[in-house]
Amino acid sequence: MGAEGGKFVRAAFLPWLILGWVGFAVLPWYLVEDGFWAFQWLIDGYPLDSDYAPALVQAALGNVWLFPLLLPLLAPLFIIRKTKTDPDYARVLIISGGFGFAYLLAQGFIVGISGWEYTALENLFGPMNSRQYGMGYGALLTATGFLVLFTSGLAAAGSLRGDVFVTSAIGIVIALVATFVFLPVGKVLISAFISESGTYAFAAFGENFFTRKIWGLACITTTASCGVAWNSLFLALLTGVSTTLLGLAFALVATRTDFRWKKSLRTLTVLPIITPPFVIGLALILLFGRAGTITQFVSDLLGVEPGRWLYGLPGIWLAQTLSFTPIAFLVLIGVVEGVSPSMEEASQTLGASRWNTFKRVSLPLMRPGLANAFLIGFIESMADFGNPMVLGGNYEVLSTEIFFAIVGAQNDQGRAAVLAILLLCFTLSAFFAQRVWLGKKSYTTVAGKAESGAHAGMNPLLRNICLGVTLPWAAFTLAIYGMILFGGFVISWGRDHSLTLQHYSNAFSVDWAEHGLHWEGTAWDSFWTTITISAIAAPLTAALGLLTSFLLVRQKFRGKNLFEFGTMLSFAIPGTVIGVSYILAFNVPPFELTGTGVILVLCFVFRNMPVGVRGGIAAMTQLDKSLDEASLTLGANSLTTLRRVILPLLRPAIVAALVYSFVRAITSVSAVIFLVSADHNMATSYIIGLVENGQYGIAIAYSSVLIIVMLLAIFLVQRAVGERKLRRDNRLEATSAKSKSLKEKQA
Amino acid sequence: MSLHLRPGSVVFENITKKYGVVTAIDDVSFSIEPGHLVTLLGPSGCGKTTTLRMIAGLEHPTNGRVIIGGKDVTSLPATDRDVSMVFQSYALFPHMTVAENVGYGLSVSGLGKQETGERVEEGLELVGLAGYGQRLPSELSGGQQQRVAVARALVLEPEVLLLDEPLSNLDAKLRRKVREEIRDLQQKLGLTAVYVTHDQEEALAVSDRIIVMNRSVIAQEGTPRELYEKPASSFIADFIGDANLVEGEIVATHSPNEATVRIASLQCNLPDRGLAAGPVKIAIRPDCVLLEKASPELKGIKGNIIHATYLGNQIHYTIDSALGELFVVDYRIDRAITAGSDISMTFASRGMALLAS
Ligand SMILES: Nc1ncnc2c1ncn2[C@@H]1O[C@H](COP(=O)(O)OP(=O)(O)O)[C@@H](O)[C@H]1O
Ligand SMILES: [Mg+2]
């Protein structure tokens, strides 16, 4: 089998060496001002103009410090005829790849816009006349090439059983996470130790950390408010529990009952995640605020004074539960579906009642899903910015405090950083608690031994509880969305309720002009930017997330816990901090990305990747490891195994990751506010602008359009990726359900 | 049959495998000849699966060398080894049809559609599942799934076929049938096969040779007959077939390799197995203890029947005697002795062995 499988082919690294050369000698080395993909540079003086020249030419033009990169690009040519068992093969690749990568990065950090970045170096070598800007696609390709040469060398030297794919995947994920999570976070954390005069000081940290504003407990004994730390923690616990329970109830109704509308229920639960966070808050105010529709109605009916109960903990909790229950549902549905029917049948045949089967078998098997759902709810709540912003009242939480520390009159980066560290501690504790709780038990339910059978029905009491909880909640959600949709068609909410189409035509009118279609509406610009950037970010996020979870679940390597920590870190950081940290880290060479669309894509990918990772982990721990091992012993390498065995079995997780990351990119606010630019404005920041101007009509109309677009996208992704086919009856059910929903549509 | 097998040998040279502080395999060496079916037998947790996985390349030894078909493959990963494995759980890919499962290894090695299809057909025919190609694994019975797993492993024409407790998921009746099928197939194709089980009867039935493992090391290795007739230790004697372990004494040794042994009041001649005169342990098979109703003229060892269990074609006795409690199987149904009776015992030397430890 060996030779045909290409296992003993010489110089398997050649494509990566070529990639390195293309980056070095062909593509523009530095960032192209007007955008690489415009290809304007091709006719504007490439390859000799110093703005567009590849590194080889740049070096000749005076940036001589680029010359040493030739060494690691030439060295591998000498081992091109050697096999990978030759010790020189590994040695040359490790040294040249490692040196090339390190040197490339180092020169980027050392030589900046105005020559030397460090005065020590200037003193040592004298002033420098040359300068360089942010790295571009040339540098990116060369760096990638070096990195893979390095990891190929490690694999040839025996790392990870010589698996080049796994070694390289780990290397690439580490490099990406280091650059786009650790570097920016590091920059923020450093500022926690900078005093107002700009020098490093630990006193600055202590001063910001030990204050009553953070740790005060006044609310227990008096009516004064507690510290923000306690507020955040309490809110997050409440939200974690409520979203997990509701999510579980929805998942059970959707999979274990014959409830007639359960398919529609699924769609309904997806609604809140496709809504920009402040929109829910807004709708709640319109319903329950002092002048809200329901508040007015109730106060007229009972003759009581309208209250302000919505502003504060109850309101935020309500809004967060509305917002995050669907995420818990998405996480749990895969798990609930994955619980093997034969295990439930086994329990029932052992004489257990349906309730006992659920309590003793199904529920424990769902533990990883429940833990993940809770964790996500907890962290989402901690990091949520939109709802506390709109509904907070006097109830202050960490995320808004951070925002005001930076944006407010104080502009106190040190204080913001301290609060961020605190937030990180909370979320990380949740993360570790979850690890301990799950322990090392096996939760494998999709084993290689195929099985058929039906899921156990639910105990009637439990079924009634689930329906009793989910139906009102679904109705409530519908009401909220009714408000949102309706709001776009009235002239002015609360004052003039006559119907109009004016908001929609302002935002989304199109015109047939002489040159064809003309996008006349004011919203089109930000709309198309949002769609494009989200559509680019979603598959990248899903791919990176699932690849990472594959490495975490299926591979053994040293430092794996640290690796997991790194990939999950960004999830624990609220968007406001990410936004600020990206600006701090990517405003200057070597990574000069602010103002581009790339920075938005990167921000989305690394913020949302943890959800892909967690979903992937939960789904993958349910796949019996002997499936991969069987594939390996049958001669497939790990890439093929991933592609042909694991991914097809992970389809629900893929759908979840794609949908989630696309939708999150569209709806996210907190990080985006810092990163948008005139050329790349996103829908949410545009809508917030409208809200600030009091243009509620257009704002709500725009939000409705976004919601519809996301619904459409979810539908398309689900159709494209399809359901996994493990049991024939499952598939039949899926197809008949599809034709049924089609019929419903036609009707 | 157009499978072109080149059965390979398997050699373990001083293999040690550690998981952290746990030593799963401790300095184990053995070699398996091409075309043989060798069983790894031993109680649960003794390291059988770990050994098998190191042959497959799914685990890598901490120390020592693995040699397959004359090539040192110690550092080769599973993907690059010419070895196929049938997993305990079968590990059939649930999203692929039977034909796709069987053809998987061929198609990832780059074989064309046409040829893959032909060889899949052959493979399925070989295991008696022709015509089942378009089904999903979930639509097959346990025995059929097991055969698909075997076919999937065989179409790759491996140098060595590995089977990890292949019968453990089947019901008892089916087990005997399937184990015979596996043995027939292995002999017909001249395969080298390594078979893991904890069931000694299964091991005796299918193997050319058996490697008995205990607590991370090899306890004894030999043909089924050697293990049964010449157990090297009380562990083996007890594990392979039942045995009564009794104390005795070698009175004298004389050539060729024979010893006169005294057990209580009896004396007999047994192969000496290299032992010198002195106290010794003796294993006595339950069916080689001969019982007679006690009477003054019989010179056997006296005892009393505590239990007598009738099992249709045999009777099981539990005897209390000067040698301790003994377990006896008697096929002479017509001469059943009731519980409580006094008896006199003698031993048939074909069912006795001196133990070195
Ligand atoms: N991946 C592992 N990590 C730690 N210990 C292991 C691992 N695999 C096996 N072991 C240990 O090695 C020993 C042998 O296991 P195994 O080969 O599976 O036994 P068997 O198949 O004979 O029942 C056991 O004590 C087991 O706990
Ligand atoms: Mg085992």
Asked whether residue B223 carries a pLDDT value surpassing 50, the answer given is yes
Amino acid of residue B210: I
Long-range contacts of A309-314 (CB under 8 A, 24+ apart): A310/A284, A310/A285, A310/A391, A311/A391, A311/A392, A311/A393, A311/A394, A311/A395, A312/A391, A312/A392, A312/A393, A312/A394, A312/A395, A313/A231, A313/A234, A313/A235, A313/A395
**Cross-strand partners of B248:** B280
Among chain B residues, CA nearest to A626 = B91
pTM above 0.90, yes or no: no
**Ligand 1 pocket member B24 (CB < 6 A):** yes
**Ligand 1 pocket member B276 (CB < 6 A):** no
Q: Which of A1, A163, A726 sits opposite B109 (nearest CB)?
A: A1
Chain-chain contact of A648 with B95 (C-beta, under 8 angstroms): yes
pLDDT in tens, B260-272: 999 988 888 888 8
Tokens of B158: 């491996």
CA of B88 from ligand 2 middle (Å) equals 8
CA of B238 vs chain A CAs: smallest distance (Å): 33
Tokens of B186: 């292995």
Mean of all residue pLDDT scores within chain B:
91
User: Distance between CA atoms of B129 and A448, rounded to whole angstroms?
Assistant: 19
* pLDDT score, position A612: 84
Chain-chain contact of A7 with B108 (C-beta, under 8 angstroms): no
User: Distance between CA atoms of A395 and A405, rounded to whole angstroms?
Assistant: 16
CA of B164 from ligand 1 middle (Å) equals 13
Which of B49, B197, B200, B218 most suits a substitution to test ligand 1, by most atoms within 8 Å of the C-beta? B49
Least confident of A452-456, A538-542, B210-214, B319-323: A452-456
CA of A701 vs chain B CAs: smallest distance (Å): 44
Q: Of the spans A316-330, A495-509, B205-219, B280-294, which averages the highest pLDDT?
A: B205-219
- Model confidence at B284, pLDDT cuts 50, 70, 90, reads very high
- Model confidence at B186, pLDDT cuts 50, 70, 90, reads very high
Asked whether residue B113 carries a pLDDT value surpassing 70, the answer given is yes
CA of B197 from ligand 2 middle (Å) equals 8
* pLDDT score, position A257: 75
Closest ligand relative to B87 C-alpha: 2
Atom of ligand 1 nearest to the CA of B20: 4
Amino acid of residue B36: H
CA of A551 from ligand 1 middle (Å) equals 22
Among chain B residues, CA nearest to A556 = B59
Name every chain B residue with its beta carbon within 8 A of the beta carbon of A627.
91, 93
Name every chain A residue with its beta carbon within 8 A of the beta carbon of B102.
none
Position with higher pLDDT, A339 vs B139 = B139
**What are the helix (H) ranges across B21-97?**
48-56
Chain-chain contact of A450 with B137 (C-beta, under 8 angstroms): yes
Tokens of A9: 């082919």
In a 10 Å sphere around its CB, with 0-12 CB exposed, 13-18 middle and 19+ buried, how is residue A263 labelled?
middle
* Residue with CA at minimum distance from ligand 1 atom 1: B19
Q: How many CA atoms lie within 13 A of A249 on its CB side?
A: 22
Q: Which of A6, A624, A632 sits opposite B89 (nearest CB)?
A: A624
* pLDDT score, position B319: 94
* pLDDT score, position B224: 93
A645-A651-A654 Cα angle (round to 5): 115
* pLDDT score, position A437: 66
Query: Do the strands B258-263 and B83-86 form a parallel or antiparallel pair, or are they unpaired?
Result: unpaired
User: Distance between CA atoms of A26 and A55, rounded to whole angstroms?
Assistant: 8
CA of B149 from ligand 1 middle (Å) equals 23
According to DSSP, residue B5 is labeled: -
* pLDDT score, position A521: 81
pLDDT in tens, B20-64: 899 999 999 999 999 999 999 999 999 999 999 999 999 999 999
CA of B49 from ligand 2 middle (Å) equals 4
Residues 6+ apart with CB under 8 A from A675: A579, A582, A583, A594, A599, A600, A603
- Cα-Cα-Cα-Cα dihedral of B66, B68, B74, B75, to 10°? -170
Among chain A residues, CA nearest to B105 = A634
Among chain B residues, CA nearest to A448 = B91
**Ligand 1 pocket member B47 (CB < 6 A):** yes
Chain-chain contact of B81 with A633 (C-beta, under 8 angstroms): yes
Q: Which of B60, B88, B109 sits opposite A4 (nearest CB)?
A: B109
Closest ligand relative to A556 C-alpha: 1
Name every chain B residue with its beta carbon within 8 A of the beta carbon of A161.
60, 75, 77
* pLDDT score, position A595: 79
CA of B51 vs chain A CAs: smallest distance (Å): 15
Sign of the C-alpha dihedral computed for residues A161, A166, A172 and A173 taken in this order:
negative
* Residue with CA at minimum distance from ligand 1 atom 3: B19
* Residue with CA at minimum distance from ligand 1 atom 14: B47
User: Distance between CA atoms of A262 and A463, rounded to whole angstroms?
Assistant: 13
* pLDDT score, position A438: 61
Residues 6+ apart with CB under 8 A from A668: A575, A604, A607, A684
* Buried/exposed code over B129-165 (b: 16+ C-beta within 10 A; e: otherwise): beebbebbbbbbebbbbbbbbbbbbbbbbbbbbbbbb
Check: CB of residue B249 under 8 Å from CB of residue B280.
yes
Please enumerate residues of B whose Cβ is less than 8 A from a Cβ of A.
56-58, 60, 75-85, 87-95, 104-105, 108-111, 136-140, 142, 145, 152-153, 156, 162, 169
* Residue with CA at minimum distance from ligand 1 atom 18: B49
Among chain A residues, CA nearest to B54 = A633
Chain-chain contact of A649 with B95 (C-beta, under 8 angstroms): yes
Among chain B residues, CA nearest to A725 = B95
Check: CB of residue B284 under 8 Å from CB of residue B351.
yes
User: Distance between CA atoms of A616 and A654, rounded to whole angstroms?
Assistant: 8
**What DSSP assignment string belongs to B64-78?**
EEEEETTEE-TT--G
Residues of chain A with pLDDT under 50: 1-8, 440-443, 450-451, 728-747
Q: Which of A104, A101, A100, A131 is nearest to A115 (CA)?
A: A131
pLDDT in tens, A681-738: 889 888 877 876 767 788 888 888 988 888 888 888 777 766 555 554 433 333 333 3
* Residue with CA at minimum distance from ligand 1 atom 12: B24
Tokens of A310: 């919505």
